Amino acid sequence: MIQLTFRNNYRSFTNYHEKIWGERIDFELNPDYLLETIYAARSALYFWDQNNLYSRADNGISRDVSDSITRIVNFYDDHYADRYTNLVRFIQEGVFDEIL
């Protein structure tokens, strides 16, 4: 999951969350809500949407695509190969079958 940082990101997610899910929660004032799975997942979706990562993902499942997304999510991550290996495993095991 993505961890939000900086007050402006909490504020922006608050507005996005209300617009998309119709629920007003001030995540800037109450950041501990993001410890709950539903809000953690929604904040990750917010990051994905705000950074247009879906457009990169639409290019297919490849190491290049995975690396291009990882560079945006966490540029300094040194586990690019592990992330791609996990993605391939998730696809092979059908982890995303219910939502794709």
The 10s digit of each residue's pLDDT in 60-70 is 999 999 999 99
Query: 23 and 39 share a domain?
Result: yes
Rounded CA-CA distance 98/83 in Å is 21
- pLDDT range class, residue 49, cuts 50, 70, 90: very high
- Identify whether 64 is part of a domain: yes
Query: 11 and 42 share a domain?
Result: yes
Query: 46 and 61 share a domain?
Result: no
- Identify whether 97 is part of a domain: no
Q: What is the pTM of this model?
A: 0.80
Distances (CA, A) of 40 to 45, 63, 99: 9, 26, 18
Return the pLDDT at 88.
Answer: 96
Domains held by the chain: number:
2
Query: 59 and 41 share a domain?
Result: no
Query: 83 and 61 share a domain?
Result: yes
Query: 67 and 85 share a domain?
Result: yes
- pLDDT range class, residue 46, cuts 50, 70, 90: very high
- Identify whether 99 is part of a domain: no
- pLDDT range class, residue 100, cuts 50, 70, 90: low
- Measured in residues, the chain has a length of 100
- Identify whether 2 is part of a domain: no
Return the pLDDT at 1.
Answer: 60
The parent domain of residue 21 ranges over: 7-50
Query: 34 and 62 share a domain?
Result: no
